[in-house]
Chain A
Amino acid sequence: MPANIRVLRRRIRSVQSTKKITRAMELIAASRIAKAQAQVAASKPYADEITRVVTAIASTSGVSGVMTTPREDASRAGVLVVTSDRGLAGGYNANALKTAGQLMTTLSEEGKDSELFTVGRKAVSYFSYRGRRPTASYTGFSEQPSYADAKRAADLAIEAFLAGSDGDYEGPDGERHQGVDELHLVYTRYVSALTQQATAVRLLPMVVEETDEPRPENLPAYEFEPSAEVVLDALLPRYVESRVFAALLESAASESASRRRAMKAATDNADDLIKTLTRSVNAARQAAITQEISEIVGGADALAAR
């Protein structure tokens, strides 16, 4: 067997084993999407309910607390970026990080410094490489986030926000950090299995949306227990936490969807490659056989001619 054929066979075997891996990752990612979507659905009742309560309170008692009033001459903004822990997810991380970069550019044009909080290993390495070490980074749960993870990430950011740029708060490294006046969130919205969109939203101060919808009738005039201040102080962080949790879950679904697509493309490419390589092997084998036959025939002719 000529060396050339052996080399081709070896390449085919290596492509085949790569294909097995990408195929397995594709299937795992596909099952994770379903799981993540189920989690999104399971978290929806709580998120809807808390949104309803916040809306009801904000529109009835005219609450204009720290969490809803934009601060004048805001000079610092916190940016919470959600990425994945692992790569091999197509453009998922690149898109989220690009959106974060654009947001930070916009913020700096408005004269605001940004302070980074990140979720996922990819964001840590991306920003550290660019000399912008995140203030806090959370890793290890990007594919299956729990509410406790969201709470951890959200609570520090809320603390930074409550401190404001005039104050400071204790970071995870035990040092004091200057606070922020705004809090933005960058995550990847799960639109469909084929479309995921990196999105930046402002979490704090809360964006008050004016809708054309008629105000819901008889919004309840709530009584508060123990008191309005205590309830609102507890309610708004929970609201932000639930927004962060929803963002983590959607990002997890998007991550798996991106990975599934990337791995499907890789598997398809491996198939094509195997097909082309197999053809080359066959052609080389045929050529070798043809050559051998013509050598034998030529040899026999030469002997017969004697």
Chain B
Amino acid sequence: MRAALVSPERALWEGDAEVVYARTLEGELGVQPGHVPLLGVLAENGTVRIHPADGGSPVVAAVSGGFLSVSDDGVSVLAETAEFADEIDVAAARRDLEQAEPGSSEALVAEGRLDAARHAGRS
């Protein structure tokens, strides 16, 4: 199944994927080939994980806002902002989290980034 992770400023990843996990407003969601067409709004603090079909290590990225679009020919994650987990500045994200008001959207974004970093085994 074709999968793409794109943000307005760049295309982060594109290729064949076995399964794509993302978090919509409803909750965590996994998409495998043959999923019904779906359009979901991504959460502010989402982590997207794409497991490539060739069995390579999963692509992990922190995304905030945007859409998940599943159609017959593949999955696209249209993130408003997206960042690969290994590009995340963990210290800066922690600082943001401490300074942000709990529950505010900045706090959610910082949480999402830390979450993604944890998924990639960096914490």
Chain A interface residues toward B at CB < 8 A: 39, 42-43, 45-47, 49-50, 53, 56-57, 146-147, 150-151, 218, 220-226, 230-231, 234-235, 238, 241-242, 245
Contacts and interface: CB of A to CB of B under 8 A. Distances in A.
Given A218-B72, A226-B26, A235-B67, A45 B39 contact: no
Given A226-B24, A238-B80, A49 B69 contact: yes
Contacts of B7: 46, 147
Interface residues on B, range: 20 to 34
Contacts of B41: 225-226, 230-231, 234
Nearest to B27: A225
A183 to B, nearest CB: 19
B32 interface: no
Contacts of B10: 42-43
A49 B76 contact: yes
A218 B29 CA distance: 24
Interface SS, A side: helix
Nearest to A235: B67
Contact of B67 (A56, A147, A150, A238): A238
B52 interface: no
A287 to B, nearest CB: 64
B30 interface: no
A46 B8 contact: yes
A235 B67 CA distance: 8
Given A39-B9, A150-B8, 19 more contacts: A42-B11, A45-B6, A46-B9, A46-B78, A147-B7, A147-B9, A222-B39, A223-B37, A223-B38, A225-B24, A225-B39, A225-B68, A226-B26, A226-B40, A226-B41, A231-B41, A234-B67, A235-B67, A245-B8
Interface string B1-38: 00010111111001000000000111001000000111
Nearest to B10: A42
A151 B11 CA distance: 18
Contacts of A220: 37, 71-72
A46 B39 contact: no
Given A50-B78, A220-B71, A225-B41, A42 B25 contact: no
A304 B34 CA distance: 115
Contacts of A231: 39-41, 67
B35 to A, nearest CB: 10
19 contacts: A42-B9, A43-B10, A45-B6, A53-B39, A53-B67, A53-B69, A53-B78, A147-B9, A151-B80, A221-B37, A223-B38, A224-B38, A224-B39, A224-B40, A225-B25, A225-B29, A225-B38, A226-B26, A241-B8
